[in-house]
Amino acid sequence: MSLPPDIKIDNAAVSFGAGVDKAIDAALADKRLVGAVVLIMQDGKPVYRRAAGLADREAGLAMTEDTIFRLASVTKPIVTIAAMRLVEQGRMGLDDPITRWLPDFRPRLADGGEAVIRLRHLLTHTAGLSYCFIDEDGPYTRAGVSDGIGEPGMALAENLKRIASAPLRFAPGEGWCYSLAIDVLGGVIEQEMAMSLDDAVAELVTGPLGLTDTAFSVRDRKRLAAAYFNASPEPERMGQEAVIPALTGSVRFAPDRIFDPSSYHSGGAGMAGTADDILRILETIRQGGGALLSEETVATMMTDQASGLRQQVEPGSGFGFGWAVVTDPDAAQVPLSRGSLQWGGVYGHSWFVDPTKKLTVVALTNTALEGMWGRFTVDLKQAIYAAL
């Protein structure tokens, strides 16, 4: 099947276009990606926009700029922004113990000792929590914990109970581990707002920006991209479930989870949305917070808040509130400027914000894991910075 014509709109910066086109075209030609939407803004202006490849290969549907994607961890910065709005409103404090909202959530240390998890620990992944895929044979897996991207039908209260039954990896504030912390944060927000996380995020984040396509449900299923994963000779379409090796374990996907109203709203992985919506949110942050947050709060979020603990795990990269922060580009081996923000999503996404270059880049794909940390992400960054 031949690829449909690519859609290019407002590709104003020819210097960006040639290199970025090459990175996208190579990933499609090599069958590392099925489809992608790449949007770039510089100094508040759209300088590159392209939808390429197929949103649904089997149906022959072309990728379009308004394609909706399962966002996976691109959800995290959105839910973090919602929490920081509540902090600004004085309804939550960074040093408040989360038992203020979740009195039964009291995971213990490995030696059985008590621990106090505070809001800032959740925001920075320093709470001592983890993910199943990080330790596949560990206590989370044995407890039947959901990573928020599979296991449809599980309620949040049940997942919190299972997480709390497992020992913490370390005392809160004494280590860094990517984790289900933002799922727990979602539970905190629901309790504070007395509403579902979907409604809370709509009130606090997407509503003020006038965004209608990004939520914990899919508003228009005809625009939802199919989900694929790396395979040979071409990416394989995910079925009802898919188990894909990642890091030291495996990620368990259930692509139809987002259609199941009985599945809890995962603050770390549960949303779907468009590249334009994500670009709008990130650009609002880059420009100082706009309708969402004060410049002071944004500056705090864009600073390493993990006390250097993440840099011990990944040199040159700290963690603010909602995203990784590049503290040393050379050590991190990235072309981004110091102070840049970046993260991604396991369904196949990556994004970064470079405040120094006034640059915001969103690349959403429908192919895990190439679109999150494969060669495509490296080629894309190199092409962009070669053009600057």
CB–CB of 62/338 below 8 Å?
no
CB–CB of 161/263 below 8 Å?
no
Task: Select which of 15, 73, 179, 266 is catalytic.
Answer: 73
Q: At what angle do helices 75-88 and 181-193 cross, to 10 degrees?
A: 40
Using the Cα atoms of residue 37, residue 41, residue 44 and residue 46 in order, give the sign of their dihedral.
negative
Secondary structure class of 10 (helix, strand, coil): coil
Which residues lie across from 8 on neighbouring strands? 50
| Dihedral pair phi/psi, residue 255, rounded to 5° | -55, -30
The enclosing H or E element of 318 equals strand 317-319
Which residues lie across from 324 on neighbouring strands? 319, 342
Contacts for 29-33: CB closer than 8 Å, 24+ residues apart: 31/233, 31/234, 31/235, 32/230, 32/235, 32/367, 32/370, 32/374, 32/375, 32/376, 33/235, 33/348, 33/365, 33/366, 33/367, 33/370, 33/371, 33/376
Residue 288 neighbours by CB distance under 10 Å: 15
73 is catalytic: yes
DSSP H stretches of helix in the chain:
14-29, 75-88, 119-124, 139-142, 156-165, 181-193, 197-201, 275-286, 295-301, 309-313, 329-332, 370-373, 375-387
Tokens describing residue 142 = 């044995």
CB–CB of 300/321 below 8 Å?
yes
* Active site residues per annotation: 73
